[in-house]
Amino acid sequence: MFPVLLAAAEAPDAWQTFLQYTLIGLSNGALFALVALGYTMVYGIIELINFAHGEVFMLGSFLALALIGVMGLEEAALWQRWLGIGLLFVVVPIFCGALNVGIDLAVYKPLRDAPKLAPLVSAIGVSFVLMNVGLLWGGAADRHFPDLVSRENLLGSEAALSFTYKDLMIVAVTVPIMIALSVFVKGTRLGKAMRATAQDPLAAKLMGINADRVISVTFAIGGALAGAAAVIYGLYINTVSYQMGFTNGLYAFTAAVLGGIGNIPGAVLGGLVIGLARAFGSGYVGERWTSALVFVILIAILVFRPAGLLGTHAREKV
């Protein structure tokens, strides 16, 4: 990656801007992808659009903010800081995973046999409740999230292209997580059970798979990914608010649908595409049109390729 970037640093201007946007897009996209994975995995297993997922993400960033205050990381020495950030990446995902599992057990599980609309509406309800928790916890105003990771450019302060420690952090966290996730889903027994349940829940149950456990694990993993994304988001964007779950959740959900909902690599691809679309949109069309652009892309994809980019076209069965 580095040689390419360094070469680009000497390339003509248009190329440089283009590459810069690409970089921003990819790092933002990786963030969306992490959140999108939670949507897509839950949908893959129980066909539920988990509207509360974005709010789990939001509460994760609030917890991270509170923990930074408790540990006093802003004044700490550099090595303590890194240790603290490492700790955040452990504690917050555990919290979000547990929260997500708890929501499933308390709210969605009793509705497994109900018509599809019931859990969907409940999910909207949960999202309202969690948003209110965020409002009471953090207040209505935007809150500053300490700028713990340096903005220093890794390519040297003179370089025209910027790739900061923050960008590096995103890559360093998301790539291993995604590799671990695909190893888990492809290689372990539980992952296999998960894929089987997603493919055909009834047949999976008949084969002796404990569907409840698979569903809980799915919610736990989805929540944990959102937790990791929440820490990254806070450290990268440096502003959190109780409404961030809604907007970012919507982008992430768009990413999941874009890649083909229920499809794990699809969510990653969708996240990256959404990130790039937003970056190029801001750069070439104008900041204020980016959100509209994302949703126009979403509608277009759904109309012309309803199964998403990587999804296989499955006819609804009769």
Partner 1 sequence: MSAPRWLDRMPAWPLYLAVLVAFPLLVYPNEVLFRWTGISIGGQLTYIFIYAILALGLNVVVGYTGILHLGIAAFFGIGAYVTGILTVPAYPFGVGFVAALVLSTGAAALAGILLGAPTLRLRGDYVAIVTLGFGEVTRFTLRNLEEITAGTRGLNPVPPPQLPAFLEPPLRLLGITPDWSLDYRLFYFLALGLLLVVIWLLHNLEDSRLGRAWMAIREDELAAACMGINASRVKLSAFALGCGLAGMAGCLYATVLASTAGPDAFDFNRSVLMLCCIILGGLGSLRGTLLGVLLLIGFDNVVAPVLDGFIQASGISSGDNRFLTFSNWKLMIFGLALILMMRFRPEGLLPSRQIEAEMHTPQPLTEETA
Q: Which residues bind partner 1 (CB under 8 A)?
A: 47, 49, 107, 110-111, 113-122, 124-133, 135-136, 139-140, 200-202, 205, 246, 250, 253-254, 257, 261, 288-289, 291-292, 295-296, 298-299, 302-303, 306, 316-318
* Nearest to partner 1 of 27, 254 (CB atom): 254
Q: How far is CA 55 from the centre of its chain?
A: 12
Please identify, using beta-carbon distances, which residue of 221 and 256 lies nearer to partner 1. 256
In the bound state with partner 1, the residue whose beta carbon lies nearer, of 183 and 285, is 285
Q: Between 126 and 181, whose beta carbon lies closer to partner 1?
A: 126
Alpha carbon of 224 to those of 57, 97, 147, 254: distances in Å?
A: 9, 4, 23, 20
Spatial distance between the Cα atoms of 64 and 233, rounded to a whole number of angstroms: 10
Structure tokens at 25: 């897009």
**Shortest Å, Cβ 244 to partner 1:** 14
Check residue 308 and give left, alpha or beta (phi > 0: left; psi -120 to 50: alpha).
Answer: left
- Report the C-alpha gap between 249 and 170 in whole angstroms: 18
Q: How far is the CB of 58 from partner 1 (least distance, A)?
A: 13
- Tell me how far, at minimum, the Cβ of 182 lies from partner 1, in Å: 25
Q: Residue 185 CB, nearest distance to partner 1 (Å)?
A: 22
Question: What region does 312 belong to: left with phi over 0, alpha with psi -120 to 50, or beta?
Answer: beta
| CB closer to partner 1 out of 10 and 200 | 200
Burial 59-73 (b: 16+ CB within 10 A, else e): bbbbbbbebbeebeb
Q: Supply the minimum distance, in Å, between the C-beta of residue 38 and partner 1.
A: 16
